[in-house]
Amino acid sequence: MSEATRVLLDESRIPRNWYNILADLPAPPPPPLHPGTRQPVGPDDLAPLFPAELIGQEVCTDRFVPIPDGVRDVYRLWRPTPLIRARRLERSLGTPARIYYKYEGGSPSGSHKPNTAVPQAYYNAREGVRRLTTETGAGQWGSSLAFACAQYGLDCEVWMVRASYDQKPHRRSLMRVYGATVHASPSPETVSGSKILAEDPDSPGSLGIAISEAVEVAAAAADTRYALGSVLNHVLLHQTVIGEEAIEQLAAFGEVPDLIVGCTGGGSNFAGLVFPFLREKLAGRMDPVIRAVEPEACPSLTRGVYAYDFGDAAGLTPLLKMHTLGHGFVPDPIHAGGLRYHGMSPLISHLYELGLFEAVAKGQTECFEAGLRFARTEGIVPAPEPTHALAETVAEALRCRETGEPKVILTALCGHGHFDLNAYDRHLAGEMEDFALPQERIDTALEELPVT
């Protein structure tokens, strides 16, 4: 075991391939279905939204997909990212556990999201697309895509969930600095947004609503495509640079993980860290416990159902087999905006059904307490999203203090919280409360599940 605090890789160690877990699964996931015919979607069905290369990656079963040099060149701005041992956090907890975190907050947008924003913009630009539309919750994805579009000369139009638009003004400022146009969602700019505003002028919005607006605009313009920041297979594929680097870095520490913890909303950060380790686990080379952590206010894995559902509120997208709370579910405006999505990635949902990982839900006060402890020991203010993984990491480390087990715990700190200090202010003022999601809210939303 190394006595180092961090392992930094040279630029030459940026992965040359993304890892595709579909090649190693014991059973393939159910296919997306066309919303009209209820038959599996084909490339032509997706062509109005995505470029051909991304459509191919969505269904690809090759174990490794080469990363284009034009993408790796932009990755060099922040990759490889460091793997850091949280020695001060360990000491504050009095735990024999050894805690490591993969820090993705050094990217241009301050999160893991550019790992997929850059290749999505690259492939669209190569096919002659002029503009990309998208949604964003916390704003990390919107600012990442805005940055990526600036690299390849694309226009970017973002629909930002109204609750986050109001809570995080500097996130939308960052998108505009990178050249994007930003709308609060629901907006009067689209048919789907106007309909929701007519029904509820004070709607806080949801990722499902924002997706509907972005998809509606993209589908109506020949020079425009849509970009998604999580959920779909190609997005998760691009994020595996996180786990590939982490495997090499953890080996440099002389360690093998006993537990891997990641926050989950749509699933991209969790997949990016976990999938390469799952490859090693499925091959019998290591056997970590893998645990997903989601917010109690939006618990798709722990309280949702596994069923075909729309990825958006208006029903414009293909039907995806996933753990869902219902596409009409509008989560309360908790501060972890990146985790407020009604469904979980179909691929992650499939892995959960196969029993390949565990899932727990956390209240936001416990998460912000973990965020404060981390900031005061390790010096980095975490975004609200990864505080969920940190809360479970702290809880596990304290269990190790009781049992004496020197577990190796690995987590992903997927972004910094510099644009989330108003949320920390609320927590420090004692104004933040946990939201106990009534089962009736879930039941009502699930009544709208489409028939397949």
Shared-domain flag, residues 332 and 192? no
For residue 24, the model assigns a pLDDT of 96
pTM tops 0.85, yes or no: yes
The answer on 397 and 320 residing in a single domain is yes
User: Same domain for 137 and 243?
Assistant: no
At 19 the pLDDT is 98
Check whether residue 244 and residue 296 sit in a common domain.
yes
Same domain, 279 and 213: no
Q: What is the pLDDT, as a whole number, of residue 314?
A: 76
Torsion angle, CA of 145/109/259/30, rounded to 10 degrees?
Answer: -10
Dihedral in degrees, nearest 10, Cα atoms 274, 280, 281, 285: -150
Positions of the chain with pLDDT lower than 50, given as ranges = none
Out of 195, 222, 249, pick the residue that ends a domain: 222
Across 26-63, b (16+ Cβ under 10 Å) vs e yields eeebbebbebeeeeebeeebbeebbbebbbebbbbeee
State whether 95 and 185 are in the same domain: no
Give the pLDDT confidence of 331-353 residue by residue, as tens digits: 776 666 567 788 999 999 999 99
What pLDDT sits at residue 336?
62
In which domain, by residue range, is 390 found? 75-110+232-448
Domain boundary among 222, 255, 273: 222
Which residue reads 């191919």 in tokens? 56
pLDDT attached to residue 91: 98
Out of 184, 204, 222, a domain closes at 222
Model pLDDT, residue 208: 83
> Where residue 183 sits, what CATH number does that domain have?
3.40.50.1100
pLDDT for 315 equals 81
Tell whether 171 and 80 lie within a shared domain. Answer: no
Average pLDDT value over all residues in the chain: 94
